[in-house]
Every structure is written in C-alpha cells, then in structure tokens.
Amino acid sequence: MRRILVTGGAGFIGSHLCERLLEYGFEVTCLDNFFTGAKKNIIHLLDHPYFELVRHDIIMPYFMEVDEIYNLACPASPEHYQFNAIKTIKTSVMGTIHMLGLAKRVHAKILQASTSEIYGDPQVHPQTEEYWGHVNPIGIRSCYDEGKRCAETLCMDYLRQNKVRVKIIRIFNTYGPRMNPDDGRVVSNFIVQALRGKELTVYGDGSQTRSFQYIDDLLEGMMRMMGTKDDVAGPVNIGNPREFTIKELAELVLEMTGSKSKITYKPLPQDDPIQRQPDISLANRLLDDWKPMITLEEGLQKTIEYFKETIKK
C-alpha cells in the first residue's frame, strides 16, 4: 500500500486531499502545526485505520518512510501569511528544504503546492508557465510570493543535483467548504458577510479580476500531476480560466444567498494583483485532458451550504 505524507493536511485543501487519498485506498499521514488548519477539518478521519495525525512544524526536520509527499504546509490567505511574515518565509524555504531532504533520503516523489502568486501582478495575460512574473521583492506580499518562488527554485535544484522526483503545481484561487471563515479570503468573506447580513467589503473599485477554482477540480489535477511520469516536473498551472471581477463575484454571492446586504468599498491593499487568469493548456496536455468541471455557480452553491451550516453551529 502506498504511504503518503500530506503536510498542511489539516488545512482547507489538505483536509480534502487526505480524505480523497484515503478513498483511493492509500495510507495517509497528515502533518500540521495547526496555525491556520484545525483538528475539526480532519476529525472525521481520525478513526480511519489508515489515517495518522502528527502535530509538527515543518521548519523542523521530520523523518518517516514514505512513498509520496504533498507539501502543502503554508498559510495561504494574505491576512494569515502577513501575520508573521518571517515565519511564512521560514515555512516556505526551510520547510520545503526539509521535505525535499526527506524525499531525497527515502526516494519519495514530492509535489510542491506553488501558487499563481509566482506571477505577482502579471503583465502577461493569461499567465502561461513560461512567464517569469512581476513580483515586488520587498512588499507586504513578498514573504509569501518570494517564499514560494524560492521553494520552486529548491525543487528544481533538488531535481538537478539529487535527481529527486519533484512535481510543481501553481494553484490559482481555490475555494470550497472548510475554508477558514476568518482568514480574509474573498470567497469566504463575501459568503459569510452575505449570510450574516453585513456589508460586503470590496477592496478598491472591484475591477480587479481573479479566476476561481472549486476544490474538487484542484484535487483531480493535483493527483493526476503526482501520477505523471518521473520526467514531468512542471511547473503546471492548475486553475479555472473563467475570469471574474471582484465586483461581479460580490453581486453573484448576493444573488445566490438572497441577501439584502449592500456592497461597501475599502482601500485596495498594497500590491494587490490587478488581473489573474491561468492558461491551462499545459495541464490539459500533460494530465489526460484535465480541465475544471465545476462552474463558479455550482461551486458557490456547495460553499454557501457549508457556511450556512457552520454559522448555525
């Protein structure tokens, strides 16, 4: 049976991934320091005979015999990754070194959860993997953007120097049930604000764009990437190319929740990217015709249901 380590496994994406891997019959170890993740995300898995939970911080080395590593540990929302910026860089850089070191030692494959933030505030649209990006190295988002860029560098150097089998995916804005309602990301913010009858906080004039991917589409892309031949390292964009302005998203959430909330405008945070849309032709070619299957309307419906239940509790 394949043994799989998921770092950041108690977070939003990690908890869904652990669940999916167990469904496929793998043995899963979830490692997390619970900074932004929570036990409640994986509590339903604790009795599973092939699930194991380890409280550990990846800025410290970790050793176990394992066949595959999904390296997801890292706070992902601007609010949380800026809360302790130095820790965020340590997680991306030292944490990734430790996971790559482990992969090297036990001959495991490793998938790195990289991000569309690699492209910064992109001047090429839509973003292809060849684009090197437009990132401010000293701004408030840099701890995350540059940390993740360095993590990609490390992956490629471990591949070139030590022949570690690395797989890099660049994840574009992903949403779904189990997002942390307090982490400040736009989809969770708007839904929770709408359900509570509070004003929806649009930053700037709301004309900036994002392309939103539902969690199930990401999981499919991620697992297919792990299953590619050893000579496929990426990076590969995984996202939904349908692009929306933030104002359109706010209006859609209001319509779908039937909320009477109003929209209020707040200042745009520093270095907030103006546009973002993945070119997914590489993913489509390498990952057996992978493409997102779930529309924003379908995904939002499921996410709204989840937050309704959470708020009730």
**Contacts with ligand NAD, 244-273, as mask; x by CB under 6 A:** ------------------------------
Place of tokens 């004039």: 205
Task: Check binding of 63 to ligand NAD (CB under 6 A).
Answer: no
User: Residue 292's closest CA among 212, 227, 225?
Assistant: 212
Among 9-17, 191-199, 224-232, 260-268, which window interacts with ligand NAD (CB under 6 A)?
A: 9-17
Query: Could you list the residues that contact ligand UDP (CB under 6 A)?
Result: 77-78, 173, 184-186, 189, 201-203, 208, 210, 246, 269, 272
- Strand, coil or helix: what is 196? coil
For residue 95, the partner it binds in ligand NAD, ligand UDP, none, with Cβ less than 5 to 8 A by kind, is ligand NAD
For residue 203, the partner it binds in ligand NAD, ligand UDP, none, with Cβ less than 5 to 8 A by kind, is ligand UDP
Instruction: For residues 255 and 249, give the distance between their C-alpha atoms in angstroms, rounded to a whole number.
Output: 10
φ, ψ for residue 241 (rounded to 5)?
Answer: -70, -5
Instruction: For residues 149 and 78, give the distance between their C-alpha atoms in angstroms, rounded to a whole number.
Output: 16
Beta bridge partners, 27, equal 3
CA distances from 255 to 172, 203, 270 (A): 24, 19, 29
Q: What residues are labeled active site?
A: 144
Cβ–Cβ < 8 Å for 259, 311: no
For residue 174, the partner it binds in ligand NAD, ligand UDP, none, with Cβ less than 5 to 8 A by kind, is ligand NAD
Task: Check binding of 177 to ligand NAD (CB under 6 A).
Answer: no
Task: Check binding of 118 to ligand NAD (CB under 6 A).
Answer: no
- Binding residues (CB under 6 A) for ligand NAD: these are 7-8, 10-14, 32-37, 57-59, 72-76, 91, 95, 113, 115, 171, 173-174, 180
